[in-house]
Amino acid sequence: MDRKSCVFCTEIVANRNAAIIYEDDLTMAFMDNAPVEQGHVLVIPKSHYSNILDIPDDIYSAVHLVAKKLAPAILLAMNADALNIGQNNGRCANQRVMHYHLHVIPRKCGRQIEWMRKILTTGELDEASQNIRKMFDDRVDISKIKIV
Ligand SMILES: [Zn+2]
């Protein structure tokens, strides 16, 4: 798969067809439009890399640092107790879009994820992204956040 047939390259990076939370020269973060939990965010490199084998170290680091930067805002905005951060490599590992991406999934204590994709409206995705962006812009004091 190359850039021309990649939905993240064509729809997200080129057309910005997503509820975008964060963007810099190398990365973008946006709401997963088929989340396993409300507030499910994806972080991607703007350049096309398929998986852990072809992503350069500096881009890999940039993507993962964005997840670290956004984590406090996601926890607060989604009123979450914890986070899953994960990444799939290959079709047999449930990678659906062959463009490197990192999942950041807010979790609530006692609520099991069924790993089924939910269908949310554009309004629901926009609301979550606005709440997370606001928390991120407010530069929250992470010493006040507790992960359970
Ligand atoms: Zn791509």
User: What torsion do the CA atoms of 89, 70, 129, 111 make, to the nearest 10 degrees?
Assistant: 70
Task: Report whether 18 contacts 12 (CB < 8 A).
Answer: yes
Q: What CATH number has the domain bearing residue 98? A: 3.30.428.10
Instruction: Indicate whether 40 belongs to any domain.
Output: yes
In a domain, 147, yes or no: no
22 CA from centroid of ligand 1 (Å): 18
Answer with the residue of higher pLDDT: 79 or 147. Answer: 79
Give this prediction's pTM: 0.87
Q: What is the pLDDT of residues 52-93, one digit of tens each?
A: 999 999 999 999 999 999 999 999 999 999 999 999 999 999
- The answer to whether residues 108 and 75 touch, using CB atoms and an 8 Å cutoff, is no
Contact 52, 58 (CB under 8 A): no
Q: Identify whether 51 is part of a domain.
A: yes
Is residue 146 a part of any domain in this protein? no
Contact 13, 28 (CB under 8 A): yes
CA diameter of the chain: 44
In the reported structure, the alpha carbon of residue 142 is separated from the centroid of ligand 1 by a whole-number distance in angstroms of 32
pLDDT (tens digit per residue) in 88-124:
999 999 999 999 999 999 999 998 877 777 788 889 8
Tell me how far the alpha carbon of residue 3 is from its chain's centroid: 20
Instruction: Report the alpha-carbon distance of residue 98 to residue 88 in Å, rounded.
Output: 10
Residue 15 CA to ligand 1 center (angstroms) comes to 12
Q: How far apart are CA 77 and CA 7, in angstroms?
A: 27
Range of the domain at 24: 3-136
Side chain identity at residue 95, one-letter code: Q
Interval between CA 9 and ligand 1 midpoint (Å): 4
Question: Cα(51)–Cα(133) distance, rounded to whole angstroms?
Answer: 27
How far, in Å, from the CA of 44 to the mean position of ligand 1? 9
Residues whose CB falls within 8 Å of the CB of residue 126, separated by 6 or more in sequence, listed in order: 19
Distance 81 CA to ligand 1 centre (A): 32
The per-residue pLDDT for range 11-60, each reduced to its tens digit, is: 999 999 999 999 999 999 999 988 999 899 999 999 999 999 999 999 99
pLDDT of residue 11: 95
What is the domain count for the chain? 1
